[in-house]
Structure 1
Amino acid sequence: MYTEEKFLDFLIKAKKATYASQGDNASVTPLLEGSRQLEFQEGHFLYRDVYFGMSYFAGQEVVYYQGNPIWSMCYSGGVDKEFEIEFVKEVYSFLRKAMRNVSADNPFRGPKEFVEGDYIYRDSNKGELGKFVGKETISFANEVVYSLHYSGGFIK
């Protein structure tokens, strides 16, 4: 069996090792047509993140222990307006930097706040690992350009 501490350590490693560090390049052959699928495995734990879309996207993260799903988070969001693709890529590059700062005290997406130049990432949530809801935003030059909602918890 696993402890919540071991689960949390694994979840943070998995989040940092997949989209946060590699972006779409972390994708393995997806099980669902038209999706991207990111995976990280260590010991008896497997992390799988499957999502559809780019500018606006929806997805689900699932953590398995010994082949059984034990935790999940669903999310959807993206850039709030029609922007040039280069700006969208810049926003998502900044998002990945913020997500590399995920920590045990805020293990869902990124830190409570992360600032670089004109970009500000903010995450607010309620609950704990077992059951939670949250929202993250990215502002550029004091204008919100990206938002995402998420929810999840342990599967019973």
Structure 2
Amino acid sequence: MRCKLISFLLTAKRATYAAQGDDASVPAQLPGAKQLEYREGPYFYRDIYFGMEMFTGMETVYHLDQPLWAMSYGGGVINIGDREQIRSIYAFLREALRLGSEEAPYRGPDFWKKGPFTYMNHWEGTWERFYGYEEIHLKDTKVYELRYQGGLLS
């Protein structure tokens, strides 16, 4: 089940926020939330979050309609007030999130650089139980940070 779950999780992440951002949202069950969903066979993925510049949320993977794996997260942009810069930071973030791997399917790679942006992701644990921190720098200035944790549900 491990390989199928991780493969599904990466596919779901790449098909929702990492690919489309807020445009992937379906009608939310909670007022004020953005809700992203993806289904494939017996697996179902739901990502519900609140906010934009600063945000918090939770991803859940279900197998046969039973919650199996979850990750909570919170963070956002810092030191930035310009809407265009915020959009470019989140566009870069979505690119980084599409580079997640089976070894660490939580967010993006441990390090990625493109143009003036650098993405860094530090984590501990395994897909069964983990926590981590990601950040984005614009040249030498940190402009985004996020903390996350999660794993298998019992």
Superposed, 1:6-155 pairs within 5 Å as: 6-155=4-153
Residues in 2 aligned to 1:116 and 1:42: alpha-carbon distance in whole angstroms: 32
- Quote the Cα distance in structure 2 between the aligned partners of 1:152 and 1:105: 15
Report SS of the residue matched to 1:108. Answer: coil
CA distance in 1, matches of 2:46, 2:58: 8
- Report the CA distance shift for 1:143/1:82 in structure 2 as closer, same or farther (over 3 A): closer
Mapped to 2, the partners of 1:34 and 1:46 lie a distance apart of 22
The percent identity for this pair of structures is: 43
Q: Distance in 1 between matches of 2:80 and 2:18?
A: 24
Query: Tell me, which stretches of 5 or more residues in structure 2 are unaligned?
Result: none
Structure 1 regions of 5+ residues with no counterpart?
A: none
The CA distance in 2 between the partners of 1:104 and 1:115, in whole Å, is: 20
Contact persistence 2:21–2:94 (CA under 8 A):
yes
Aligned pairs, number: 154
What's the secondary structure of 1:134's corresponding residue?
Answer: strand
For the residues of structure 1 that align with 2:65 and 2:16, how far apart are their CA atoms?
A: 19
Aligned-partner SS, 1:111? coil
Decide whether the 8 Å contact of 2:80 with 2:143 is kept in 1. Answer: no
SS for the counterpart of 1:31 is: coil
Deviation at 1:82, TM superposition (A): 4.1
Residue type of the alignment partner of 2:87: K
Separation in 2 of the partners of 1:45 and 1:67? 8
- CA deviation after TM superposition for structure 1 residue 80, in Å: 1.3
For 2:17 and 2:42, how far apart are their aligned partners in 1?
Answer: 21
